[in-house]
Amino acid sequence: MSDLNGNCLCGAVSITLQEVKAEVSVCHCDMCRRWGGSAFMGVSGGAFRVKGEDHVTVYTSSDWAERAFCKACGSNLYYRYVPGDHYSFQAGLFSDADALSMSEQIFIDEKPDYYSFADDTPKLTGAEVKAKYGVG
């Protein structure tokens, strides 16, 4: 897939994601839902460039994760899995992401009953995710 270009709500931070995986991973964990108001929908790839880094604030949300947002407008930017140095960017940042499809849903055991997705994807519980990545 070609590069994705996106930005926060106010435009102070822009992101170019290269070698994009044509998939969106969804996390239903309690922390992601508190962070963004609903499930986190992340897209990842290879290299990336961030412009406006002086507007990026990073919050250490657990022993293994960081979450970043624009300090000017509050837009959530990315989740970083620290041990693997893996970044997953908010899919909504990229207006040209129509070709992406949902690939998996994680922490499905923490998903509230008030929403559901029609896509039939692999679903992992929190325990399965932690075992897969060796955390917690």
What tokens were used for 33? 């839902």
pLDDT given at position 28:
97
- Condensed to tens digits (0 to 9), the pLDDT of residues 48-76 reads 999 999 999 999 999 999 999 999 999 99
The SS3 assignment for 131 reads: helix
Answer whether 63's CB lies under 8 Å from 57's CB: no
Instruction: Note the pTM of the prediction, 2 decimals.
Output: 0.90
DSSP-derived letter for residue 8 is -
Each residue's pLDDT tens digit, 12-49: 999 999 999 999 999 999 999 999 999 999 999 999 99
Per DSSP (E only), the strands in the chain are 4-7, 14-17, 23-27, 40-43, 48-51, 56-60, 65-70, 76-81, 86-90, 101-106, 123-124
**Can you tell me the mean pLDDT for 102-109?**
96
pLDDT tier for residue 136 given thresholds of 50, 70 and 90: low
Average pLDDT across the chain, whole number: 94
Mean pLDDT over residues 89-103, rounded? 93
Whether residue 13 contacts residue 56, with contact meaning beta carbons closer than 8 Å, is answered with yes
**Residue 11 pLDDT level (bands cut at 50, 70, 90):** very high
**Domains of the chain, first to last:** 4-131 (2.170.150.70)
